[in-house]
């Protein structure tokens, strides 16, 4: 809207500071030899006033795990992304 109308427009007023993030990384090769890490953080932007004792994060929603499950999850997401990118049948059913 800002580009089309030539003036600043604020259609979305939600705070991005209330969003969480997830990251999955894998290392290794094979279904039994790989390893991966899964990390979530909430909120993305630390809120030191709301969570003063935990570096600005909500500890119930912020964690990291290392193991084979992270490797499997990353592998599944990889194949789903490639399937969707190739626009194969029913590709639109795979969530973003």
**pLDDT tens for residues 7-61?**
777 776 667 678 888 899 888 777 788 888 899 999 888 888 988 888 888 888 8
Residue 57, Ramachandran bin (φ over 0: left; ψ between -120 and 50: alpha; else beta): beta
Which pLDDT score, from 0 to 100, does residue 11 have? 72
pTM summary value: 0.62
| Contact indicator for 25, 70 with CB cutoff of 8 Å | yes
- Work out the pLDDT band at 1, boundaries 50, 70, 90: low
| Contact indicator for 39, 23 with CB cutoff of 8 Å | yes
Which pLDDT score, from 0 to 100, does residue 10 have? 73
- Report the DSSP beta bridge partners of residue 64: 39
Sign of the Cα torsion 72, 80, 93, 88 reads negative
């Amino acid at each position: 809207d800002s580009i089309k109308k030539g003036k600043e427009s604020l259609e979305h007023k939600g705070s991005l500071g209330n969003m969480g993030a997830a990251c999955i990384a894998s290392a290794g090769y094979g279904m039994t030899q790989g390893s991966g890490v899964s990390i979530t953080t909430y909120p993305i932007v630390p809120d030191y006033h709301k969570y003063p004792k935990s570096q600005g994060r909500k500890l119930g929603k912020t964690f990291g795990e290392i193991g084979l499950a992270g490797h499997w999850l990353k592998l599944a997401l990889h194949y789903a992304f490639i399937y969707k990118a190739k626009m194969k049948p029913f590709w639109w059913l795979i969530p973003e």
